[in-house]
């Protein structure tokens, strides 16, 4: 799974393996840990939000997994929490918040339904760190009292089920919808690492499709955003009660825009070299880890994705450097979350391009936890958990 509004539609073809009668509750597509980690009868019952039974089925592909011996269903320590299994719910953007970016009353039920098995980790939907870092309507935020209070109720609903929840921290950069940004506040600026217009398929739900060149962020603005990430993390963990936060540095959003040379053509300390392009991501991690602790901090990368005009040619040196720095500076970071190269944004590739693999990051980060996401089915999830020790989203 990947974190975007399109995920629900893309994932329907994957979940068909679990039973032809299956209908995803809330139209959210694949979160199959509730099905995978059922008890030994290998049956699952989904209920709609009105409480009516949707379907009961026996997913035969799950029955063949021999759950008792699979590493996928063994406990693992992730930061400060101990999970009962290694199937994780990846962040899924819902666009169900209010116009003030407050999570709706439905969200607590939505998330509590997805932790029917205790000891499960959910990474909640991508959430704006501040109003000026947004640019999509009806996406939740984590800066106001009302937002924090709403998230607190959601976190409590997950914790009462004996499970855990991280919040994904989101800043859009050039990926936002400029018209929506101005609608939020006419003083908000459309910014990125460099003045390079967004190209390729974008995920903006209301974008006009017109290419607009963002303004390069100033050093004071970069420093402000680093502070905003830290404040958002503090609001999430210390006020709303989240078990941790995941920095969204994937899929062509702001942190990714600084990491990759296709979007970062700066000549100051935040661009021009592998080390400088890594600096914003490292500053954000430092600030968040200082605010809530490294063991409650995580980050997500999509090194090979070309979604939203991304896709630098020399991936391995860039991401090797930033992951090595994270390992050296914050060895107790909760986890690194990787999008597999077989998924490019919301599209599954028919085959993985030659030479594309996240194993170089696994080798640097081992033996620390890695969550990997993208096009998994029960058999491939079990195989990767067994061979590489990953958690599967």
Instruction: Just list the catalytic residues.
Output: 253
Cα–Cα distance measured from residue 269 to residue 219, given in angstroms and rounded to the nearest whole number? 9
Q: How many residues does the chain have?
A: 393
Residue 37 Cα distances to 44, 47, 78, angstroms:
9, 17, 18
Q: What is the DSSP letter of 299?
A: E
Q: How many CB atoms lie within 10 A of CB 376?
A: 24
Structure tokens at 129: 């760190």
Widest CA span in the chain: 60
Which of 127, 122, 133 has the alpha carbon at shortest distance from 81? Answer: 122
Residue linked to tokens 């699979």: 70
Cα–Cα distance measured from residue 167 to residue 309, given in angstroms and rounded to the nearest whole number? 26
CB 254 within 8 A of CB 128: no
Structure tokens at 391: 């958690």
β-strand pairing of 121-128 with 88-89 = parallel
């Amino acid at each position: 799974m990947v974190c975007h509004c399109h995920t629900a539609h893309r994932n329907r073809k994957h979940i068909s393996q679990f039973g032809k009668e299956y209908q995803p509750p809330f139209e959210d597509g694949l979160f199959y840990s509730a099905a995978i980690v059922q008890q030994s009868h290998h049956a699952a019952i989904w209920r709609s939000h009105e409480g009516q039974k949707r379907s009961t089925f026996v997913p035969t592909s799950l029955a063949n997994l021999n759950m008792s011996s699979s590493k996928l269903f063994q406990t693992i320590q992730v930061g400060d929490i101990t999970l009962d299994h290694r199937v994780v719910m990846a962040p899924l953007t819902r666009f169900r918040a209010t116009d003030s970016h407050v999570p709706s009353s439905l969200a607590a039920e939505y998330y509590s339904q997805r932790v029917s098995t205790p000891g499960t980790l959910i990474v909640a939907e991508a959430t704006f760190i501040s109003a000026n870092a947004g640019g999509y309507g009806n996406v939740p935020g984590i800066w106001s009292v009302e937002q924090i209070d709403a998230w607190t109720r959601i976190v409590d609903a997950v914790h009462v089920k004996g499970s855990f929840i991280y919040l994904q921290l989101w800043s859009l950069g050039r990926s936002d919808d400029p018209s929506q940004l101005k609608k939020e506040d006419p003083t908000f600026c459309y910014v990125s690492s460099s003045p390079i217009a967004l190209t390729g398929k974008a995920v903006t739900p209301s974008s006009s499709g017109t290419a607009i060149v963002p303004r390069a962020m100033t050093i004071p603005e970069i420093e402000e955003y680093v502070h905003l990430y830290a404040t958002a993390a503090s609001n999430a963990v210390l006020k709303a009660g989240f078990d941790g936060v995941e920095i969204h540095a994937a899929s062509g959003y702001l942190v990714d825009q600084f990491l990759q040379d296709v979007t970062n053509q700066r000549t100051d300390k935040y661009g021009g070299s592998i080390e400088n392009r890594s600096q914003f991501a490292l500053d954000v991690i430092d600030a968040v880890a200082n605010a809530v602790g490294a063991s409650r901090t995580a980050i997500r990368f999509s090194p090979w994705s070309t979604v939203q005009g991304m896709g630098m040619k020399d991936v391995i040196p860039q991401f090797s450097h930033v992951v090595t720095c994270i390992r050296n500076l914050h060895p107790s970071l909760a986890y690194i979350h990787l999008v597999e190269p077989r998924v490019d944004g919301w599209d599954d590739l028919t085959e993985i391009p030659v030479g594309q693999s996240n194993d170089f990051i696994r080798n640097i980060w081992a033996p620390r936890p890695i969550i990997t996401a993208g096009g998994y089915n029960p058999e491939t999830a079990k195989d990767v958990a067994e061979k590489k020790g990953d958690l599967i989203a």
